[in-house]
């Protein structure tokens, strides 16, 4: 009987202890939510024109309170500007001046520790190549399996190369590349054409070609001067401004706009399916869904940047239109007795094919009609064999 009473008492005591602990946790959560709401109200009073929403504010608030991350890490995780993080901290009073200085010192110390970025053998290899070779920073980075800024940091930290010597070696490297690069490759890139906003134009600016081949822009200018009859100064100016504007627009685009462009470029989804995906993307990233007019603007912007004349609402209709345009291009090239290659297909696009979808259709064409294997296709158009094998497997399932 005593054993039964003791067991009953023990069970009863355990149950009584659990309830106050659960209540304390709930009280802490409620108090934390209350503090966040008070800080959010104070922030809106201090900054009445702010457009920040409560979920984003709460995320920044918790990161400031519960972590030792700097402004750069917090703004990257919360998708806000750096001054917004400082303003929230100022209103909430979560960190003191000494805490900010400590965090900045930790980040600065991590930045100076170049040796901690990679294995010691790689670090010694970089130092050895800087001392004993005439390779440029980019060539050393390729040999060591790292990036050019890391090589530059090592060189500056240990004074292994002066600025004058670095430039001299860079000029030697560029001259060597120019001697080794075939003239036909440079001219091919300069004269390559695609369709932009409904008309055919040169694909690459001088800066693009220089970046692709690892040259300076002046080196490419010397080559293009010999092609004045095919590509004029006016062409260079127009293409350079067009590509520069496209890069600026890409940098300013919101994550949702980039997602819309990615889905439209790489898949055959119709506008209805793309909007559904964008809503799910916004729900995961910012915690809310935007208005229908906003998504319509995203669709229009992505379609305009990709040079599509129109976009079907459903995936089925878009695929029918895209395959119809691809087949008409193949028929046109065959009738005109022109080579059926990827470049000619891209130049003859007429508002339904993106470059990526045109490549996918061309791979299917080579697999079905020409009976080529993935190795031959990879050698012909420069795509990875794994990607081509993936398309082949999709065809086998149909």
Q: Per-residue pLDDT for the chain (398 aa), expressed as one digit of tens each?
A: 444 454 544 444 444 454 454 466 677 788 888 888 988 988 888 888 888 888 889 889 988 888 888 888 888 788 888 888 988 998 888 888 888 888 777 666 554 455 555 556 777 888 889 988 888 888 888 888 777 877 888 888 788 888 878 878 876 776 666 556 666 777 888 888 887 766 788 888 888 887 777 666 777 777 777 787 888 888 888 888 888 777 766 555 678 888 998 999 999 999 999 999 999 988 888 777 888 888 888 898 888 888 888 888 899 999 999 999 999 998 988 888 888 888 888 888 888 888 888 888 888 888 888 788 777 777 777 777 777 888 888 777 76
Give the separation between CA 4 and CA 18, rounded to whole angstroms.
Answer: 22
Is the distance from CB of 210 to CB of 219 less than 8 angstroms?
A: yes
**pLDDT of res. 155:** 86
Q: Smallest Cα–Cα separation from 64: which of 33, 31, 100?
A: 100
**pLDDT of res. 137:** 87
Give the separation between CA 312 and CA 273, rounded to whole angstroms.
Answer: 10
**pLDDT of res. 210:** 79
Is the distance from CB of 110 to CB of 76 less than 8 angstroms?
A: no
């Amino acid at each position: 009987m005593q054993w039964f009473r003791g067991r009953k008492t023990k069970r009863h005591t355990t149950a009584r202890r659990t309830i106050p602990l659960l209540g304390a946790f709930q009280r802490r959560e409620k108090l934390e939510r209350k503090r966040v709401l008070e800080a959010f109200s104070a922030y809106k009073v201090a900054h009445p024109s702010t457009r920040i929403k409560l979920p984003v504010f709460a995320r920044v608030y918790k990161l400031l309170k519960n972590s030792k991350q700097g402004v750069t890490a917090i703004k990257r995780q919360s998708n806000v500007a750096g001054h917004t993080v400082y303003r929230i901290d100022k209103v909430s009073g979560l960190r003191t001046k000494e805490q900010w200085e400590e965090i900045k010192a930790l980040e600065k110390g991590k930045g100076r520790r170049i040796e901690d970025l990679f294995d010691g053998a790689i670090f010694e290899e970089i130092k050895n190549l800087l001392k004993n070779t005439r390779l440029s920073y980019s060539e050393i980075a390729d040999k060591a399996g790292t990036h050019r800024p890391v090589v530059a940091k090592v060189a500056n930290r240990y004074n292994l190369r002066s600025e004058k010597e670095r430039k001299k070696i860079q000029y030697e490297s560029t001259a060597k590349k120019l001697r080794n690069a075939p003239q036909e490759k440079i001219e091919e890139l300069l004269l390559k054409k695609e369709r932009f906003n409904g008309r055919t134009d040169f694909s690459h600016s001088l800066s693009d070609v220089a970046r692709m081949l690892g040259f300076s822009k002046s080196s490419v200018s010397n080559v293009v001067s010999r092609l004045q009859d095919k590509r004029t100064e006016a062409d260079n100016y127009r293409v350079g401004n067009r590509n520069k504007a496209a890069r600026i627009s890409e940098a300013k685009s919101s994550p949702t706009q980039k997602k819309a462009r990615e889905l439209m470029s790489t898949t055959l989804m119709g506008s209805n399916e793309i909007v559904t995906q964008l809503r799910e993307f916004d729900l995961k990233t910012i915690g809310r869904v935007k208005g229908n007019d906003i998504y319509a603007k995203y669709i229009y912007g992505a379609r305009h940047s990709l040079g599509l004349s129109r976009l079907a609402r459903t995936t089925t209709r878009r695929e029918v239109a895209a395959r119809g345009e691809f087949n008409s291009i193949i028929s046109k090239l065959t009738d005109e007795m022109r080579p059926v290659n990827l470049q000619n297909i891209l130049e003859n696009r007429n508002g339904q094919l993106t470059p990526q979808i045109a490549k996918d259709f061309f791979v299917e064409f080579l697999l079905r009609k020409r009976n080529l294997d993935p190795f031959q296709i990879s050698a012909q158009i420069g795509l990875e064999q794994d990607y081509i094998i993936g398309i082949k497997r999709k065809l086998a399932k149909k």
